[in-house]
Amino acid sequence: MSKSWIWRLCVAVAVLAGIVGTASAFGDPHRGDGVTVRIGWVPAASWTPWATLQEKLKGTGVNAELVPFKSSNDSLTALVKGEIQLAPVGYNNVASLLADSKPGVKFVSGISEHGSVFVARKGSGITTWADLKGKRIASVRGSTQYVNLATAMSNHGVDLDSDSTFVNMQGFSDLNFALQRGDVDAICTFPPLSGQAVQAGGVEVPEIQSGMYDGSFTVASGILANEDFLKQHPGQARTLLTAFVQRFDELKKDPEQWARSYAGLTAGTDKQSLVEALKKQYIKPSLNLDEKQIRSVPRVLHRLGVIKEDTGPALTARLDYSLLAKVTGKSARDLGQEG
């Protein structure tokens, strides 16, 4: 995440706070005969249970209006403004924002771990970490995938910027095109785009993939909620999280159904590559809020120079285990809280 993006978000939040109060920013969730809560998502396979939780809301009196966004940053901005009430968001996005702002948000559940996949161009000669020296490697700077790759390379004695040439792309779909054209030797992306890259001629590299999280973190994203919504509508929040957990448990047991559900939300999805990604744990579903792992996210971001300070204490202060504990019947300790 660039510093300019953080500055623009802070300005937007400040302007909003000066124009409207908390109640008007949040809006009225009651619409029609029932209650409608706006929930965000970015079309990503790891977030399929969240995007399809409506199936478990029948008869509860609560409806979920699914609002799509292009990135976690966009979802985060809408959450801070109160335009939506909950959404999956990357821990790295919140860690970055906390370097310059104090958003009123709380993580109320985990959703996914892993999610970074390294794919090399066929014939690139990349089979080990040492082979990355002198190669052109692409990802999206500031993303979880970029952070995992840069940290793992450093852990294995290779610097992404000085030993290789890093090619920054604006979007993950651009990575596949660059690999297919031969513009780069390798990319770091996420499923199902990684599966599409392999089908187009790319190859997975076992040694690199097995060490993708070395020195870094395995957590990826969690369910982030607007704090005002949690305080004002605890019953609705519990109903939504209950539906999510039920849907999560259902899909986690059946990768085929997970893939079908995601294909129903997006066009052109290769269901088989997604099933394989789930079975290989390139996507690892997890409801836990692993405090130790989450605490390491801003530490790594700071070490890489992505953020100006380690925002770990502010990030872990936004982990709220209470709602998930009520829904699952597990203790906060069992859900990942330390101490």
* Residues 289-317: tens digit of each pLDDT: 999 999 999 999 999 888 999 999 999 99
Q: Span 237-252, mean pLDDT?
A: 98
Does residue 286 carry a pLDDT above 90? yes
Q: What is the distance between the alpha carbons of residues 268 and 281, in angstroms, rounded to a whole number?
A: 22
Q: Which amino acid is at 12?
A: A
**CATH no., domain 3-20+27-112+219-328:** 3.40.190.10
Q: Span 65-87, mean pLDDT?
A: 94
**CATH no., domain 117-210:** 3.40.190.10
Residue 24's pLDDT is what?
Answer: 35
More confident residue, 127 or 70: 127
Does residue 147 carry a pLDDT above 80? yes
Phi, psi of 328 (to 5 degrees): -95, -20
Q: Do domains 3-20+27-112+219-328 and 117-210 have the same CATH topology?
A: yes
Structure token pair of residue 61: 């009196």
Does residue 261 carry a pLDDT above 70? yes
Question: Nearest-5° angle of CA 94, CA 71, CA 104?
Answer: 30
Handedness of CA 117, 114, 164, 73 (dihedral sign): positive
1-38 tens-digit pLDDT:
444 444 444 434 443 343 333 333 344 444 434 689 99
Residue 325's pLDDT is what?
Answer: 98
DSSP string, 254-275: -HHHHHHHHHHHSTT--HHHHH
Does residue 45 carry a pLDDT above 80? yes
Taking the mean position of all CA atoms in its chain, how far away is CA 7? 21
Q: What is the distance between the alpha carbons of residues 64 and 53, in angstroms, rounded to a whole number?
A: 8
Residue 34's pLDDT is what?
Answer: 66
Q: Are 149 and 164 in contact (CB under 8 A)?
A: no
195-236 tens-digit pLDDT:
889 989 999 999 999 999 999 999 999 999 999 999 999 999
Residue 227's pLDDT is what?
Answer: 97
- Domain boundaries in the chain? 3-20+27-112+219-328, 117-210
Q: What is the distance between the alpha carbons of residues 8 and 96, in angstroms, rounded to a whole number?
A: 13
- Percent of the chain topping pLDDT 70: 90
Confidence band, pLDDT 50/70/90 cuts, at residue 170 = confident
- For 202, the 3-state DSSP assignment is strand
Q: Span 79-93, mean pLDDT?
A: 96
What is the overall mean pLDDT for the chain?
90
Residue 150's pLDDT is what?
Answer: 95
Residue 80's pLDDT is what?
Answer: 96
What letters, b where the CB count within 10 A reaches 16 and e where it falls short, cover 153-185?
bbebebebeebbebbebeebebbbebbeeeebb
Confidence band, pLDDT 50/70/90 cuts, at residue 143 = confident
Q: Span 123-151, mean pLDDT?
A: 95
90-120 tens-digit pLDDT:
999 999 999 999 999 999 999 999 999 999 9
Q: Are 79 and 228 in contact (CB under 8 A)?
A: no
Does residue 188 carry a pLDDT above 60? yes
For the entire predicted model, the pTM comes to 0.86
